[in-house]
Chain A
């Protein structure tokens, strides 16, 4: 059995992994985990793939397999023989090393590498944190709780995101084509997938930010526009998610969790 990646493309880190593996022709078995369907914590029912999604692995065994791989029951997860790994950054680096991907992804040059590390570290609570929060507030919370969206709350999380976007442009991107100079690296890939989450929620943050929009085009070119589009199809249709597509026991479970998180 070769490399297995457990992914749900609605999740930003999963998209980064998917794009990275595909663009580098890394052979892997795509284990499709559909978080909304709840089959990751329930036996038996085979998942239905949303239209346009890559072929997933169907079958009742998926849940147990997944549980063994990732005790925390979250995506993404990797299984390589008996070796299991969670956390997208760890998985990206593992793949880069194991499959000896081109240098620009994670440059051997000490200082360039450090700049990639710097972005990958900073982004956790900033771009990732605020982008996720916006998606949560605008899409998930109303969907899962049935409660209407509060405009002040949305304004608040949008402002928080705007602040980190400014920091991203001024501190990390500046006037360079990519975050670490002239070529795409893991930093750009991770940044892009995170920025697409608020876009999926209906906040087109690229609209009035020409520098960011140009950077986005460059990143998409570098990995392949079609691949990028394919990876983002689900999230860009996130507004079509309706409560009836979500497993009822999940609705209950998440209601409580998300209300806590959103405060």
Chain B
């Protein structure tokens, strides 16, 4: 049994791993986990074709749970070896498969700059961008309550601050975060920023420098692959057709109401 990657493409970290592996022709078995469907019942949206035939089914979700006692996705299984956490998985793949140097440069200063971004990302972009999906889609879907607009405003302001820092400190006037070539830093950043785009908060709209960077990243990984990976999130409105099991709603309601406060 070869490399297995447990992924749900609605999840940002999963997309970065998916794009990285495909872009570098790393052979893997795509264990498709559908977090909503596999948690309890839910109707699969009339989807989207994919170039790959994902294998769906409850067994992938169980498989993923065995790997990571914590979050289900992303997760990696390589023989007996199991691994969670996006950064760890990306680095493991880049080392094991000897991917081109620019992804994680051997030059220690350039490498340090990739590490610096990957670290900062957690408490900043990744802290804010995902909330847009919660507020705009998931909370209304699960609680039946209308979109809390002041909350969205607050989240967008937080995200704007992070984006400003991103542009001024990390990107600046360079083509990519650490210079002339794409690295893991750019990949991890872009998938996160596509989440608000998917739910209708286009963070690239009034930010031309960011938009140009995005285009360069798409080119560098391959436009077709990029859009394939983002097909689900860009069609997230389909999600509102899902029937959520009342048990799941009840289970998640307290946590969601906390977020609303």
Contacts and interface: CB of A to CB of B under 8 A. Distances in A.
Interface string A24-65: 000000000000000000000000000000000000000000
Contacts of A86: 116, 120
Given A111-B81, A114-B88, A118-B85, A89 B108 contact: no
Contacts of A236: none
Contacts of A263: 261
Given A90-B112, A110-B96, A72 B119 contact: no
A85 B113 contact: yes
Contact of A87 (B85, B120, B127): B120
A72 B169 CA distance: 8
Interface stretch (A92-100, A139-147, A210-218): A92-100
Interface in A202-233: none
A115 B108 CA distance: 21
Contacts of B261: 263
* Size band of the interface chain A makes with B: 20 to 34
Nearest to A125: B122
Nearest to A263: B261
B99 interface: no
A23 interface: no
A175 interface: no
B85 A121 contact: yes
A66 B196 CA distance: 35
A170 interface: yes
B169 A85 contact: no
Interface residues of B, number: 31
A110 B108 contact: no
Given A87-B120, A90-B119, A117 B70 contact: no
Contacts of B81: 111, 114
Contacts, number: 84
B86 interface: yes
Contact of B69 (A90, A91, A111, A167): A167
B119 A87 contact: yes
Given A114-B83, A118-B84, A171 B112 contact: no
A117 B184 CA distance: 14
A137 to B, nearest CB: 16
Interface of B: 69-70, 81, 83-89, 91-92, 95-96, 108-109, 111-113, 115-116, 118-120, 122-123, 127, 165, 168-169, 261
Given A93-B111, A122-B70, A170-B69, 18 more contacts: A85-B112, A85-B113, A88-B119, A90-B116, A91-B112, A94-B109, A94-B115, A97-B108, A97-B111, A113-B92, A114-B91, A115-B88, A117-B91, A118-B85, A121-B86, A121-B122, A125-B127, A171-B70
Interface of A: 71-72, 83, 85-91, 93-94, 97-98, 110-111, 113-115, 117-118, 120-122, 124-125, 129, 167, 170-171, 263
6 contacts: A85-B112, A87-B116, A113-B91, A114-B88, A117-B92, A121-B122
